[in-house]
Chain A
Amino acid sequence: MSVQELNTVFAKETFIGKRVTKPDAPDKATGRTVYINDMVVPRMLYGKILHSGRTHAKIVSVDTSAARALPGVHVVLTGEDIPELRFGPTRDNVPLKAGKVRCIRDEIAAVAAETEAIAEHAIELIKVEYEDLPAVFSPSEALREGAPVVHDDHPNNLSLHYEFSHGDVEAAERDSDIVVEHRFEVPYVTHCCMGPGCVIADFDTAGRLTIWSQTQYPYNFRMDLAPALGIHPGDIRVIQPPVGGAFGSKLDVYPFEPVCALLSRAAGRPVKLTFSREEEFINSPTRQPVEFRIRSGVNMDGALTFRRVDALLNNGAYTSWGPTTPVIQMRTFTGHFRVPAVEYHAQAVYTNSVYAGSFRGYGNVQATFVTASVMDMLAEEVGMDPIAFRLRNAQSSGEVTPQGSVLDDCRLAECIETAAEKTDFLRKHAEYAQARTRPGRIRRGIGIATSIHNAGGAKIHKSDGCGTILKLDDYARATLITGASEIGQGIDAVLTQIVMEELGIPKEDVTIVNNDTALGPWDVGVHASRTTFIAGNSALRAAKAARQQILNAAAKQSNVSASEMDLRAGHVVQADNGVAIVRLDRLLRQMHFAEEPELVMVSDYYEPNSVPEDRNHFGNLSAAWAHAAYVAEVEVDTETGEVRVLKMTAVQDVGRVINRLGIEGQIEGGISVSLGYALSEQLKMREGRVMNPSFRDYKVFTAPETPEIEIHFIESDCSEGPMGAKGIAELPAIVPAPAVANAVYNATGIRFFAPPLTPEKVARAIHEAGQPAAD
């Protein structure tokens, strides 16, 4: 060791809260990243699926002879070729359908061929004879006596249902000064991942499956996929390559993946199956549409008295996660703002429509559109402004909601106050409301919305944990293997920062591995805004353990104790003055080649201290809760009905910012999705068919429509979170939409109960309201 080294001094540097660039960004910027959609595996065949395109019909016959005869076709499978292998949360789905079809997606046959073009041609050659059956598309129709039955084992078309109650809602209704009832209807929207659905499957000679999948939950995916193939989950290896987005669309098993595996098994070759964009629009699970009826009570002093919510869910033809969103919807209806008495009922009903899965926000998008709109309406009823009314009912730290959400770090009031102050809300709100009495073509409006969301995971499974394996090599390069998945959200950057912080090594010396179930430790999946919190905590504990091991070893060969040391810039240093003691890589080699050798390789499994709900939906489901307040400023053209969002102000309770670039990116991206929900996105269904399966007619937000965005973080150091951080990424996709709807009300005096607020919808409502003519 050189004398020069020993005299070097390293100041304490922290990377938490900084703008640390995403490790995989350079490769993505140069087009070097190989996404699953880009992958080619040797000897690979191409798979394609024949979808029924019918909503309800008996399959009379399927003639695959012409398809089989087409040169280049290796395998053709139909529902008759495989045993009935049921999968899905309620085991009501099968990979290939036999007997009858229940919605347009239904997978009748599949082909594996040498090129995608041959596979597509073969699909066209398959002749299916159907006998159409009467079909039903709306839940209320499907509930009627004599309605067509979608699944024989559910003769009344009833699927999942949820009930919760706390306090005496009837008594509260009687005692309330004001009781109002409203109905809302929220639509089918879809994720629009830029990377369309894609899967590659390959069986080895022992019959074990390797599946390259876009799945967001690789470990439990094995468990859910196995029954669809009739194999043991332990014989499935899931590899998740880089993906073009997920947003919750890949949290379940959907038929195209087991179909691909079945093709591969039959062909004895790897098979890759990709959706066209049109297939993606039609077949990707949607957000759950809901019809709400909500009765709310309030007293003239501004206190909420009760909420009673009845939710009717279109289950579609098969059950995925959409009909389970009441679990999270409930948390907002019962726990957002203090409501002494609450009742929630939800019923999912089978129809011949397409079916919903999970989508960023998971029920809270729907619930918050309702609650945030109702809060504004109730405020008006009691003559309070939207800010004062919300503050009147906001909880404080330490309160526990009727469902047992423990709000130990409740920043709701602070979010509301900050949002109001930063946007000059009250003055503008009053001014724009006043302006409604005067003629004018372009009207401005300002609106606020708030919500709560689980920020420390959500214990909806037996474990909500995540594992980490961390090792350092002889060159002080760290590899962190996490069970979490990088799906674009930036967990690679966050985990890198945690390792940098604890071990004092530069970003370039950290590799995150996060995508292979044969290598990695278990994680329940990327959902519920849990990854920074839970994978972060696991990584942090592993990094601390590694740090301790290193400092202990350094202390043995020094006259400084471990507790007086720190790791900085690739060196072990004295914590008080930063003087270098030994280079880290040198120390690691010394440890490795010592008489009693040791490698630094540690593991950790972190389980958050949340509890699953009991049968009555009671329990502290998440290890932390977070709030947000968003303010939207809009301009409405009262003639064309066009709504332009001028500015979004986001105030989020985040605990602690770990990666400033990443957290801002999550907020800005969530806003874009939520504004689409508010103003332009809708899968237009006609009798169970998707009428707009293309970007041409399904309008996502584009760059010129994007408003100015101002972000404020409330950082209060969540005690449970890694470095104090809370999970945040769903709230930005939840809260902006009702803020926009409330702003449109401020501008026009017209309330909308069914997003999206398209130009036609707004123009028609203004026209029917007989607004004063333009200047």
Chain B
Amino acid sequence: MSPAIDIAFNLNGRTVQTRVAPAMTTLEMLRENFGLTGAKLACGEGECGACTVRIDGRTINSCLMFAADCDGREVQTIEGLASVGSLEVVQQAFVDFGAIQCGYCMPGMIMQARYIVDRHAGSGGELTRDDIARGLEGNVCRCSGYTKVVDAVAAVVLGEAG
């Protein structure tokens, strides 16, 4: 029998504890142990980005990361982006710009978009549409064609700059 590993970490602003199997992925842990089904299993090999969450401030494919390694870290999922009853700025932009169709890829896309905006903040330089598109290269979407996704992120960058 595989040992069960007890871990404790910060999940969306709260300290949590759980038990994981050694080879369990972070995605499995989030979905099964915490019922946070925002992050999706769409490929399981880090090629599509639908499982994107933020660990210690950096986005990663949670389908690849070992759950046990969340121990002591800060984990943010799509469910932790907004406060109750409202949408966070990037989420609102995705809604307003019509970026969301079936929406399956969108939790991952929005997490990555937020990361791109945060990385850029305070850098003083320009974030072009090409930069945004490159930042999203690891997020596959089959519905939107990406144009309105980039529109939404560009608007947030402009808004947060002004």
What is the interface of chain A, defined by CB distance below 8 A to chain B? Answer: 19, 21-22, 24-26, 28-35, 37-38, 191-196, 242-247, 276-277, 487-490, 661-662, 664-665, 667-673, 694-696, 700-704, 706, 709
Interface membership of B95, Cβ < 8 A: yes
Interface membership of B62, Cβ < 8 A: no
For A19, list chain B residues within 8 Å (CB). Answer: 98
For B138, list chain A residues within 8 Å (CB). Answer: 702
| Of A191, A195, A664, A706, the contact of B98 (CB 8 Å cutoff) | A664
A488 near B103 (CB under 8 angstroms)? yes
A21 near B95 (CB under 8 angstroms)? yes
Residue in A closest to B104 when the chains form the complex, CB atoms: A244
Residue in B closest to A695 when the chains form the complex, CB atoms: B47
11 additional A-B residue pairs with CB within 8 Å, beyond A29-B92, A30-B81, A702-B146: A31-B79, A33-B103, A37-B40, A38-B40, A194-B50, A243-B104, A245-B142, A277-B44, A488-B102, A661-B97, A706-B146
A706 near B94 (CB under 8 angstroms)? no
**Bound complex: CA A696 to CA B64 (Å):** 15
| Of B42, B101, B130, the contact of A704 (CB 8 Å cutoff) | B130
Measured between C-beta atoms, what is the minimum distance from A588 to chain B in Å? 29
For residues 21 through 48 of chain B, which have their beta carbon under 8 Å from a beta carbon of chain A?
31, 36-45, 47-48
B87 near A26 (CB under 8 angstroms)? yes
Residue in B closest to A489 when the chains form the complex, CB atoms: B101
Question: 1/0 contact trace for B92-116 toward A, CB 8 Å?
Answer: 1011111111111111001000000
B140 near A702 (CB under 8 angstroms)? yes
Per DSSP, chain A at the interface is loop
Interface membership of B58, Cβ < 8 A: no
Residue in A closest to B43 when the chains form the complex, CB atoms: A277
**Bound complex: CA A21 to CA B31 (Å):** 29
| Of A243, A488, A672, the contact of B145 (CB 8 Å cutoff) | A672
Interface membership of B11, Cβ < 8 A: no
A24 near B140 (CB under 8 angstroms)? no
Interface membership of B82, Cβ < 8 A: yes
A22 near B98 (CB under 8 angstroms)? yes
When A668-B145, A709-B147 are in contact, do A703 and B87 touch as well, CB less than 8 Å? no
For residues 69 through 86 of chain B, which have their beta carbon under 8 Å from a beta carbon of chain A?
77-79, 81-82
For A490, list chain B residues within 8 Å (CB). Answer: 101
Name 24 interchain pairs, CB-CB below 8 A, sorted by A: A28-B100, A29-B103, A30-B91, A31-B78, A33-B103, A35-B40, A195-B42, A195-B102, A196-B42, A246-B102, A277-B44, A488-B104, A488-B143, A664-B147, A665-B98, A668-B145, A669-B101, A671-B145, A672-B144, A694-B45, A695-B140, A696-B47, A703-B136, A703-B139
**Bound complex: CA A670 to CA B103 (Å):** 16
**Bound complex: CA A32 to CA B110 (Å):** 13
B44 near A192 (CB under 8 angstroms)? no
For A244, list chain B residues within 8 Å (CB). Answer: 40, 42, 102-105
For B110, list chain A residues within 8 Å (CB). Answer: 29
When A26-B87, A245-B102 are in contact, do A21 and B45 touch as well, CB less than 8 Å? no
For B42, list chain A residues within 8 Å (CB). Answer: 194-196, 244, 277
| Of A195, A489, A667, A670, the contact of B40 (CB 8 Å cutoff) | A195
**Bound complex: CA A558 to CA B114 (Å):** 55
For B20, list chain A residues within 8 Å (CB). Answer: none
For A24, list chain B residues within 8 Å (CB). Answer: 103
**Bound complex: CA A747 to CA B150 (Å):** 29
Residue in A closest to B37 when the chains form the complex, CB atoms: A38
| Of A31, A700, A701, A709, the contact of B39 (CB 8 Å cutoff) | A31
Interface membership of B156, Cβ < 8 A: no
A694 near B47 (CB under 8 angstroms)? yes
For A26, list chain B residues within 8 Å (CB). Answer: 87, 91, 95
Interface membership of B56, Cβ < 8 A: no
A34 near B137 (CB under 8 angstroms)? no
Measured between C-beta atoms, what is the minimum distance from B157 to chain A in Å? 15
Measured between C-beta atoms, what is the minimum distance from B92 to chain A in Å? 8
When A28-B100, A704-B134 are in contact, do A665 and B48 touch as well, CB less than 8 Å? no
When A29-B95, A30-B87, A31-B39 are in contact, do A193 and B142 touch as well, CB less than 8 Å? yes
For A35, list chain B residues within 8 Å (CB). Answer: 37, 40, 104
Interface membership of B141, Cβ < 8 A: yes
**Bound complex: CA A632 to CA B102 (Å):** 27
B98 near A487 (CB under 8 angstroms)? no
**Bound complex: CA A245 to CA B142 (Å):** 8
**Bound complex: CA A490 to CA B139 (Å):** 21
Interface membership of B120, Cβ < 8 A: no
A25 near B94 (CB under 8 angstroms)? yes
For A487, list chain B residues within 8 Å (CB). Answer: 102
**Bound complex: CA A34 to CA B44 (Å):** 19
When A29-B91, A244-B42 are in contact, do A706 and B48 touch as well, CB less than 8 Å? no
Residue in B closest to A117 when the chains form the complex, CB atoms: B21
A700 near B149 (CB under 8 angstroms)? no
Measured between C-beta atoms, what is the minimum distance from A201 to chain B in Å? 20
Residue in A closest to B79 when the chains form the complex, CB atoms: A31
A25 near B103 (CB under 8 angstroms)? yes
| Of A25, A28, A700, the contact of B142 (CB 8 Å cutoff) | A700
Measured between C-beta atoms, what is the minimum distance from B1 to chain A in Å? 13
**Bound complex: CA A276 to CA B42 (Å):** 8
For A706, list chain B residues within 8 Å (CB). Answer: 133, 145-147, 150
For B31, list chain A residues within 8 Å (CB). Answer: 38
**Bound complex: CA A428 to CA B105 (Å):** 38
| Of A25, A243, A246, A695, the contact of B45 (CB 8 Å cutoff) | A695
For A669, list chain B residues within 8 Å (CB). Answer: 101, 142-145
